[in-house]
C-alpha cells in the first residue's frame, strides 16, 4: 500500500493504514486458500512532511517490481493518484484508493488520458465517492434544510476546491444563492479576517470544502469569536471529526458521508468494535474505507487463487475478479461494494449527519443510483 | 540495489576528491560513467532507476544552486521557484491543458531560458541586498511562485495541477512508460552540468564570483562588474533548475504546486551545505545522499528495519526526526560539509571569523 | 467603516502575535547573525504547554472564579518558562559548537532542529490540531462603530505589556546592556569583561520567553494548537522582523503589526488565498527601496 504516513497527513494516514492491517489480519486468521498469507507492505508517500506525487509514483514502482504484490491499496490524495494511475495501468495491477475523490481520476477525458498506456483496461478503483456526487448531494441536503443563501469557502487543495466547485454549481442550479466564494491559504491560523468579511453578506450558512485540519475546525471555532456562532456550517466527508477541534462549538455543523447510515449497518458496528479492540483508538475518517478497499482486494485475490487451482494467480487474474455487479458484491462496513466500468462504486449512497451536543446524529440519506 | 548504485557513485566521488593525480581522476570519472551507463542492463529494475533518475534531477538542481550560493555567495532560499517554472513550462506547453504539444527537446531549452529570465528578474532589483536580506527575499519569491501557480486555476489547473502530460519522443520513438530514457537524459544532464560548473569556476566570470563572495567592495575596486556577475550567477543557476524541472515534469507526467514548496528549497540548500559548498564533487555527494535518504530509505524504513532485525516497529512517524537528526549530526561534526573544498577551507574559516567580528 | 474597523482590530491582534515571535528572531539575529529557524517551533511548544496546563486544570475543576485567573497565569508562566528553557537548550546543544563554523552550518542545523522539534511535538500531541480551551470569556464590546472581543483586548494588552517590559529590560538592565554590547562587537565586549557565552544564552532564554507569551496568546486567539503552526507563523514573523529591519527591536514590533494588518486586509480585499503572496510581495518591494528594512540602519559597506 501507499499512503502518507508522516508529517501533516500522518494521523489520517496511520488510521487508514490500520484499517488495512485489520482487514489483512482478519483474512489471514480465517485462512487463505492455497495456504498463502497476506502481508502489508507500507510505503510512505510524504517527503519532508508533505504528500508527494513523485514519491507516490516511486513507491508504486517499488511495489510493482515485487512479483508477490498482487494489489495496491492507496493512495490517499488525488494528485498522488494522478501520478500513480498511469503506472498501475501500464503494469495491469489492481489499485484501490480509500479516499482519492477527484472526478478526473475515473471520469471523462482526464481519466482516459491517465489510462493511455492501456486504454482498454481500467485498474484503478475507489471505494470513496466522487466530488461531484458528494457536492450535488450536499446541495440538495442544504435546500432540504431550508438553507438558501450560501457563502462558500475552500482550502484551495484538490479535495476541497473540487468539492466547493461542484457544490456551487449544483446549489445554484437547484435554486440556491451563492453569495460569494473564498479560498484560504495554507498555514492560515487566523480566519477571523475572512469571517468578518463573510458576516457582511449575511448568509444562511457557510459551506466548507476541505478537511478539519486544513481549516474546517478552526473556521467553525472562530465563527464564535466574531459573533457568527449560530450560523449553520456544512461540509463533506472531510469534517466528520470536526468536534475534536471545535468541541461544543461544532454544534450546528452538517456533513455528508458516502456510506449508508452506520447505525443500521451491522458490518459497520462490528468493524468499529474490532478496530477499537485492536488499536485502542477510535476509527479515523478513512479507516472504514481502507478496510473496505482491502476486503475487496482480498476477495478478488482469494477468488483468483481458487480459479487458478490454489496456485499464485497473476495480476490480470486478480483484476478479472474485481466485483462488477450485484451478484459478486463484497459486504463491507460502508455497505456492499461493486464497481462500475469507470472504477467507481455502483449504487452510491450519501448520508447527511448533523452535530448536536458534540455528537454526530444521522439525518437522512440519498440514494444516487435512482 | 538502489544503495549499490548510490554507494558506487558516492565512493567514486570520494575517490576523485582524494586523488590529486589528474589522470587518475579522469579514469575514475570514465569508469563511473561506463558503469552507470551499462550496469542497468544487468542489474536493477524500473523502481530503482526511477529513484536514480529523480536523484539525478536533484543533483542537477544542487549543481545549479551551487553556482549561486557556492560560487557567488548569494544565499538563495527560494530556488524551488525556478524548478517550478521549468516544470510548469512543460506542464502548460506539452499537455492537453491548452492543447499545445511542443516537443520535449525544445521545451528543455525554452524552460532553461525562461528560468534564467526569471532568475535575472529576481536578481536585478535585489542585488543591493546583503546576506540574509537577500535570503529572505528569495525565500519570499519561493513562496510566491507556487502559490501563484496554485491560485491561477484557469491556466495551471490550480491545486490539482496538470496531469497526463505528453510522453516525450526521440526521433519519432516515444519514451513509452519506461523510466530508462529519463535516467540516461538525467545522467547526460549531470555530465553537462558538471562540465559547465567546472569551466565556469575556472573562467573569468568564475573568478569574479569568488572575488565578490570574498569581499564585494574589494572586487568592485578591482574593476569587476558586480551587477553583471551577480545577474549571471542568478540566471545560470536558475537555468539548471529550469531544465531539471522539465525532466521532472515529463517523467512524472504531472505538475502540481505542492511539489515545489519551501521544503524543496531547503532540501537543495541542505544538499549543498552537507556535501561541501562550492565543491562540485561534494555537492554531488550531498545531493545523492539526501535524495536516497528521502526517496528510498525513509519511505521504506519500516520494512527495512523489520527485515534486518526481525522486528515490527513503526518508524514512519519518526521520518522528520531522523531527517532532522541527520542534518544536525553532520553539521555538528562536519560543519564544512562532508567533502569541504580544500582550497576554500581556509577562506571559509576566515570569512566565518570576519562575519563574527562584524 | 464598520467592517474596516473590525478588520483593523483583527489585524492588530494578529500583528501582536507576529510581533512577539518576530522579537525572538530579531534578538537572536542581532547577537549571532543566525536565522533561528527553530524559533517558530519553540512558539508551538509554548502553545502546547499552556494548553496542557489549562486542560489539566479544567479537568481538575480548578478553573472557576479566582481559580480561573490563577489558572491562566499558571499556564502563561509555564509556557514562558518551558519555551525559554527549550530555546536556551537548543542554543547550548546545537548552536554553541558552531560559533566559528561557516555561516550556513548553523542555518542548516537550525532547520534540522526545527524538523526534530516538529516531529517530537507531533509524537507528543498528534498530527491533528488540538483545541485550546476557551478560558477567556469573550463578550463583544461596542465602542461606537468599533466592535471588539474581550479576548482581543487581552491578547493585544498582554503583547504590549511584554514588549514594553522587553524594551526597558534591554535599555536599562545590566544584562540588556551586555546584550547590546555583544551584538555590536563580540570581541570588544569580551575584552571589557562581559561573559559572551552567558549573554548569548540569556538572549536565547529571553527570545524563548517571548515565544512562550506568543504561544499562549496565539492559542487563545486561534483557538487551537497544531504541531506545524510554528512553520507558517514563524515564516510570517521572520518576514516581519526583516521588514522592520532585522536586529532592530522596534523594527520587529512595527513589522509584526504591519504583517498582521496586511494579512487581515488582503484577506478582506483580495481573498485569503492571496494573503501570503501579498505579504511577500510587500516585503520584496520594501527591501528594494530600503535594503535594510524600515527601521534598520543602512549598513555602511565594509571598509
Torsion on CA atoms B267, B269, B273, B279, rounded to nearest 10:
120
Do residues A259 and A349 touch, judged by C-beta distance below 8 A? Answer: yes
Q: Measuring CA to CA, which residue among A247, A42, A156 is closest to residue C271?
A: A156
The position carrying cell 472557576 is C64
Joined together, the cell numbers standing for residue A11 give 494521523
Give me the CATH number covering residue B197. Answer: 1.10.3470
Average pLDDT over residues B200-206: 93
Test B266 with A48 for CB contact under 8 angstroms: yes
Write the pLDDT tens digit of every residue in C212-236: 999 999 999 999 999 989 988 999 9
Do residues A90 and A60 touch, judged by C-beta distance below 8 A? Answer: no
User: Quick check: B160 contacting A, CB < 8 Å?
Assistant: yes
Say what the pLDDT of residue B356 is.
Answer: 42
Average pLDDT over residues A210-237: 91
Q: Give the closest-approach CA distance of B116 to chain C in angstroms.
A: 19
Do residues A330 and A296 touch, judged by C-beta distance below 8 A? Answer: yes
Adjacent-strand bridge partners of A335: A332
The Cα B118–Cα B99 span in angstroms is 25
The Cα B143–Cα A186 span in angstroms is 11
Q: Measuring CA to CA, which residue among A40, A41, A45, A42 is closest to residue A6?
A: A45
Least trusted range by pLDDT, from A300-304, B21-25, B147-151: B21-25
Test A62 with B300 for CB contact under 8 angstroms: yes
Do residues B44 and A62 touch, judged by C-beta distance below 8 A? Answer: no
Do residues C7 and C265 touch, judged by C-beta distance below 8 A? Answer: yes
pLDDT band at B313 (very low <50, low <70, confident <90, very high): low
Q: Is the pLDDT of residue C300 over 50?
A: no
Joined together, the cell numbers standing for residue C241 give 522582523
pLDDT band at A60 (very low <50, low <70, confident <90, very high): very high
Say what the pLDDT of residue A191 is.
Answer: 93
Write the pLDDT tens digit of every residue in B265-305: 989 999 998 898 889 999 999 999 998 888 888 877 777 77
Say what the pLDDT of residue C301 is.
Answer: 41
Say what the pLDDT of residue B342 is.
Answer: 65
Other beta carbons within 10 Å of A108:
10
Test C111 with B270 for CB contact under 8 angstroms: yes
Write the pLDDT tens digit of every residue in B2-44: 888 888 888 888 888 888 888 888 899 899 999 998 888 888 8
The position carrying cell 490539482 is B160
Say what the pLDDT of residue A29 is.
Answer: 92
Average pLDDT over residues C157-176: 92
- In sequence order, the 6+-apart residues with CB closer than 8 A to the CB of C284 are B125, B126, B137, B140, B141
Q: Which of A48, A65, A101 to mutate to test the interface with B (most CBs of B within 10 A)?
A: A48
| Minimal Cβ distance to B133: which of C101, C111, C242 | C242
Q: Is the pLDDT of residue C254 over 90?
A: yes
Do residues C71 and C135 touch, judged by C-beta distance below 8 A? Answer: yes
Q: Measuring CA to CA, which residue among A142, A138, A214, A223 is closest to residue A183?
A: A214
Integer-rounded Cα radius of gyration of chain B? 20
Joined together, the cell numbers standing for residue C89 give 537548550
Percentage with pLDDT > 70 across chain C: 98
pLDDT band at A318 (very low <50, low <70, confident <90, very high): very high
Dihedral sign from CA coordinates of C245, C251, C252, C257: negative
The count of CB pairs under 8 A between chains A and C is 112
Q: Is the pLDDT of residue B218 over 70?
A: yes
Question: C23: part of which helix (H) or strand (E)?
Answer: helix C2-32
Write the pLDDT tens digit of every residue in C78-110: 999 999 999 999 999 999 999 888 888 898 899
Structural domain harbouring B57: 2-357
pLDDT band at B172 (very low <50, low <70, confident <90, very high): confident
Q: Is the pLDDT of residue B243 over 80?
A: yes
Say what the pLDDT of residue B312 is.
Answer: 65
The Cα C229–Cα C233 span in angstroms is 6
Say what the pLDDT of residue B187 is.
Answer: 92
Average pLDDT over residues C297-303: 48
Cα-based angle B285, B287, B290 (whole degrees, multiple of 5): 105
pLDDT band at A286 (very low <50, low <70, confident <90, very high): confident
Q: Is the pLDDT of residue B308 over 80?
A: no
Write the pLDDT tens digit of every residue in B333-358: 988 888 887 655 544 454 444 444 43
Say what the pLDDT of residue C298 is.
Answer: 56
- ipTM score of complex: 0.89
**Neighbour subunits, C (≥3 Cβ pairs < 8 A):** A, B
Q: Measuring CA to CA, which residue among A63, A57, A48, A92 is closest to residue A77?
A: A57
Say what the pLDDT of residue B14 is.
Answer: 87
Q: Give the closest-approach CA distance of A83 to chain B in angstroms.
A: 6
Write the pLDDT tens digit of every residue in A178-218: 999 999 987 888 999 999 999 999 999 999 999 888 889 99
Integer-rounded Cα radius of gyration of chain C? 19
Adjacent-strand bridge partners of A47: A50
The percent of chain C in helix, strand and coil, each rounded to the nearest 5, is 75, 5, 20
Indicate the length of chain A as a whole number.
370
- For B22-51, letters b (16+ CB in 10 Å) and e give eeebeebbeebeeebeeebeeebbbbbbbb
- A302 three-state secondary structure: helix
User: Residue A75: is the preceding peptide bond cis (ω within 30°)?
Assistant: yes
The Cα B121–Cα B118 span in angstroms is 5
**Domain architecture of chain C: domains with CATH:** 2-289 (1.10.3470)
Main-chain phi, psi angles of A44, to 5 degrees: -100, 125
| Phi/psi-derived region of residue B213, left when phi > 0, alpha when psi is between -120 and 50, beta in every other case | alpha
- In sequence order, the 6+-apart residues with CB closer than 8 A to the CB of B26 are none
pLDDT band at A127 (very low <50, low <70, confident <90, very high): very high
Do residues B236 and A22 touch, judged by C-beta distance below 8 A? Answer: no
Say what the pLDDT of residue B112 is.
Answer: 96
Test B158 with A10 for CB contact under 8 angstroms: no
Write the pLDDT tens digit of every residue in C19-42: 999 999 999 999 988 989 999 999
Main-chain phi, psi angles of A127, to 5 degrees: -95, -10
The Cα A111–Cα A78 span in angstroms is 12
Nearest CA in chain B to C245: B133
DSSP letter string, A159-222: HHHHHHHHHHHHHHHTT-EEEEEEE--TT----HHHHHHHHTT--SEEEEES-IIIIIHHHHHH
User: Quick check: C101 contacting B, CB < 8 Å?
Assistant: yes
- B127 three-state secondary structure: coil
The position carrying cell 494588518 is C261
**Domain architecture of chain A: domains with CATH:** 2-129+264-339 (3.40.50.2300), 131-257+350-367 (3.40.50.2300)
**Neighbour subunits, B (≥3 Cβ pairs < 8 A):** A, C
Average pLDDT over residues B257-262: 90
User: Quick check: B316 contacting A, CB < 8 Å?
Assistant: yes
Which residues from B are below 8 Å from C35, CB to CB? 132, 135
The Cα B75–Cα B77 span in angstroms is 6
Q: Measuring CA to CA, which residue among A8, A363, A3, A47 is closest to residue A215?
A: A8
Test B47 with A90 for CB contact under 8 angstroms: no
Q: Is the pLDDT of residue C299 over 70?
A: no
Pairing of strands A149-154, A205-209: parallel
Test C104 with B277 for CB contact under 8 angstroms: yes
Q: Which of B52, B163, B174, B249 to mutate to test the interface with A (most CBs of A within 10 A)?
A: B163
Say what the pLDDT of residue B352 is.
Answer: 45
CA A83, chain centre distance (Å): 18
Q: Is the pLDDT of residue B83 over 90?
A: yes
Alpha carbons within 13 A on the beta-carbon side of B350 = 8
The Cα A8–Cα A12 span in angstroms is 9
Test A196 with C232 for CB contact under 8 angstroms: no
Test B126 with C288 for CB contact under 8 angstroms: yes
How many domains are contained in chain B?
A: 1
Amino acid at each position: 500500500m501507499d499512503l502518507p504516513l508522516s508529517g501533516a497527513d500522518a494521523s489520517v494516514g496511520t488510521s487508514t493504514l490500520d484499517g488495512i492491517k485489520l482487514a489483512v489480519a482478519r483474512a489471514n486468521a480465517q485462512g487463505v486458500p492455497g495456504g498463502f498469507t497476506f502481508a502489508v507492505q507500507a510505503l510512505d508517500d510524504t517527503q519532508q512532511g508533505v504528500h508527494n506525487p513523485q514519491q507516490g509514483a516511486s513507491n508504486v514502482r517499488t511495489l510493482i517490481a515485487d512479483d508477490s504484490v498482487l494489489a495496491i491499496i492507496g493512495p490517499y490524495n488525488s494528485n498522488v493518484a494522478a501520478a500513480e494511475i498511469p503506472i498501475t495501468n501500464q503494469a495491469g495491477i489492481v489499485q484501490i484508493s480509500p479516499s482519492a475523490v477527484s472526478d478526473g481520476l475515473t471520469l471523462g477525458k482526464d481519466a482516459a488520458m491517465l489510462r493511455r498506456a492501456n486504454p482498454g483496461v481500467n485498474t484503478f478503483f475507489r471505494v470513496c465517492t466522487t466530488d461531484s456526487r458528494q457536492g450535488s448531494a450536499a446541495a440538495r441536503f442544504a435546500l432540504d434544510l431550508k438553507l438558501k443563501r450560501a457563502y462558500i469557502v475552500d482550502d484551495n487543495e484538490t479535495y476541497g476546491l473540487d468539492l466547493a466547485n461542484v457544490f456551487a454549481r449544483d446549489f445554484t442550479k437547484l435554486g440556491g444563492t451563492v453569495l460569494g466564494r473564498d479560498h484560504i491559504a495554507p498555514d492560515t491560523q487566523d480566519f477571523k479576517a475572512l469571517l468578518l468579511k463573510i458576516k457582511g453578506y449575511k448568509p444562511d450558512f457557510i459551506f466548507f470544502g476541505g478537511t478539519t485540519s486544513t481549516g474546517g475546525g478552526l473556521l467553525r471555532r472562530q465563527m464564535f469569536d466574531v459573533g457568527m456562532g449560530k450560523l449553520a456550517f456544512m461540509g463533506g466527508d472531510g469534517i466528520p471529526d470536526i468536534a475534536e477541534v471545535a468541541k461544543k462549538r461544532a454544534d450546528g455543523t452538517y456533513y455528508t458521508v458516502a456510506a449508508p447510515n452506520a447505525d443500521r449497518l451491522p458490518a459497520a458496528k462490528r468493524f468499529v468494535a474490532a478496530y477499537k479492540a485492536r488499536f485502542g483508538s477510535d476509527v479515523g475518517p478513512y479507516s472504514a474505507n481502507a478496510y473496505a478497499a482491502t476486503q475487496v482486494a482480498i476477495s478478488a485475490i482469494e477468488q483468483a487463487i481458487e480459479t487458478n487451482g490454489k496456485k499464485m494467480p497473476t495480476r490480470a487474474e486478480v483484476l478479472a475478479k474485481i466485483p462488477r455487479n450485484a451478484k459478486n458484491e463484497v459486504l463491507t462496513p460502508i455497505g456492499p461494494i461493486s464497481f462500475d466500468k469507470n472504477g467507481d462504486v455502483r449504487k452510491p449512497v450519501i448520508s447527511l449527519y448533523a452535530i448536536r451536543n458534540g455528537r454526530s446524529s444521522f439525518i437522512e440519506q440519498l440514494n444516487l443510483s435512482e | 540495489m538502489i544503495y549499490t548504485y548510490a554507494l558506487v557513485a558516492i565512493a567514486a566521488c570520494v575517490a576523485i576528491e582524494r586523488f590529486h593525480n589528474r589522470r587518475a581522476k579522469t579514469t575514475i570519472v570514465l569508469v563511473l560513467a561506463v558503469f552507470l551507463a551499462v550496469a542497468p542492463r544487468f542489474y536493477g529494475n524500473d523502481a530503482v532507476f526511477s529513484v536514480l533518475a529523480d536523484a539525478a534531477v536533484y543533483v542537477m538542481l544542487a549543481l545549479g544552486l551551487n553556482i549561486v550560493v557556492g560560487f557567488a555567495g548569494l544565499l538563495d532560499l527560494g530556488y524551488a521557484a525556478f524548478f517550478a517554472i521549468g516544470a510548469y513550462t512543460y506542464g502548460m506547453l506539452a499537455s492537453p491543458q491548452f492543447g499545445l504539444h511542443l516537443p520535449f527537446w525544445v521545451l528543455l531549452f525554452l524552460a532553461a531560458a525562461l528560468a534564467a529570465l526569471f532568475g535575472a528578474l529576481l536578481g536585478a532589483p535585489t542585488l543591493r541586498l546583503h546576506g540574509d536580506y537577500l535570503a529572505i527575499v528569495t525565500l519570499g519569491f519561493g513562496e510566491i511562485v507556487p502559490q501563484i501557480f496554485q491560485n491561477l486555476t484557469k491556466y495551471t489547473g490550480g491545486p490539482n495541477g496538470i496531469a497526463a502530460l505528453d510522453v516525450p519522443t526521440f526521433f519519432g520513438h516515444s519514451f513509452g512508460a519506461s523510466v530508462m530514457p529519463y535516467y540516461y537524459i538525467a545522467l547526460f544532464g549531470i555530465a553537462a552540468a558538471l562540465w559547465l560548473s567546472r569551466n565556469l569556476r575556472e573562467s573569468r566570470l568564475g573568478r569574479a564570483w569568488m572575488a565578490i563572495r570574498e569581499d564585494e567592495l574589494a572586487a568592485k575596486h578591482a574593476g569587476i562588474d558586480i551587477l553583471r556577475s551577480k545577474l549571471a550567477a542568478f540566471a545560470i543557476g536558475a537555468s539548471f533548475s529550469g531544465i531539471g524541472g522539465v525532466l521532472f515534469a515529463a517523467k512524472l507526467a504531472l505538475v502540481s504546486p505542492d511539489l515545489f514548496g519551501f521544503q524543496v528549497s531547503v532540501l537543495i540548500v541542505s544538499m549543498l551545505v552537507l556535501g561541501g559548498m562550492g565543491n562540485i564533487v561534494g555537492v554531488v555527494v550531498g545531493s545523492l545522499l539526501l535524495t536516497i535518504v528521502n526517496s528510498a530509505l525513509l519511505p521504506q524504513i519500516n520494512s527495512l528495519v523489520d527485515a534486518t532485525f526481525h522486528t515490527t516497529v513503526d518508524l514512519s512517524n519518526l521520518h522528520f526526526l531522523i531527517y532532522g537528526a541527520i542534518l544536525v549530526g553532520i553539521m555538528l561534526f562536519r560543519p564544512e560539509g562532508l567533502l569541504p573544498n580544500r582550497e576554500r577551507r581556509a577562506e571559509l574559516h576566515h570569512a566565518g571569523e570576519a562575519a563574527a567580528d562584524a | 467603516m464598520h467592517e474596516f474597523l473590525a478588520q483593523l482590530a483583527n489585524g492588530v491582534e494578529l500583528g501582536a502575535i507576529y510581533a512577539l515571535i518576530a522579537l525572538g528572531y530579531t534578538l537572536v539575529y542581532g547577537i549571532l547573525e543566525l536565522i533561528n529557524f527553530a524559533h517558530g517551533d519553540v512558539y508551538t511548544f509554548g502553545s502546547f504547554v499552556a494548553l496542557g496546563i489549562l486542560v489539566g486544570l479544567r479537568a481538575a475543576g480548578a478553573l472557576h472564579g479566582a481559580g480561573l485567573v490563577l489558572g491562566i497565569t499558571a499556564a502563561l508562566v509555564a509556557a514562558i518558562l518551558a519555551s525559554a528553557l527549550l530555546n536556551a537548550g537548543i542554543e547550548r546543544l546545537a548552536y554553541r559548537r558552531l560559533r566559528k563554523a561557516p555561516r550556513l552550518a548553523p542555518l542548516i542545523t537550525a532547520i534540522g532542529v526545527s524538523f526534530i522539534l516538529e516531529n517530537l511535538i507531533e509524537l507528543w500531541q498528534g498530527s491533528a490540531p488540538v483545541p485550546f480551551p476557551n478560558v477567556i470569556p469573550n463578550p463583544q464590546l461596542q465602542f461606537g462603530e468599533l466592535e471588539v472581543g474581550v479576548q482581543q483586548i487581552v491578547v493585544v494588552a498582554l503583547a504590549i505589556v511584554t514588549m514594553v517590559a522587553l524594551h526597558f529590560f534591554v535599555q536599562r538592565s545590566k544584562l540588556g546592556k551586555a546584550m547590546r554590547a555583544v551584538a555590536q562587537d563580540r570581541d570588544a565586549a569580551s575584552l571589557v569583561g562581559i561573559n559572551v557565552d552567558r549573554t548569548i544564552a540569556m538572549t536565547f532564554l529571553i527570545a524563548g520567553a517571548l515565544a512562550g507569551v506568543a504561544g499562549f496568546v496565539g492559542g487563545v486567539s486561534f483557538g487551537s494548537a497544531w504541531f506545524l503552526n510554528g512553520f507558517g507563523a514563524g515564516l510570517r514573523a521572520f518576514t516581519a522582523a526583516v521588514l522592520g529591519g532585522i536586529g532592530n527591536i522596534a523594527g520587529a514590533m512595527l513589522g509584526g503589526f504591519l504583517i498582521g494588518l496586511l494579512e487581515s486586509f488582503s484577506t478582506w480585499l483580495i481573498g485569503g488565498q492571496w494573503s501570503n503572496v501579498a505579504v511577500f510581495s510587500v516585503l520584496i518591494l520594501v527591501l528594494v527601496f530600503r535594503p535594510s528594512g524600515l527601521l534598520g540602519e543602512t549598513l555602511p559597506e565594509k571598509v
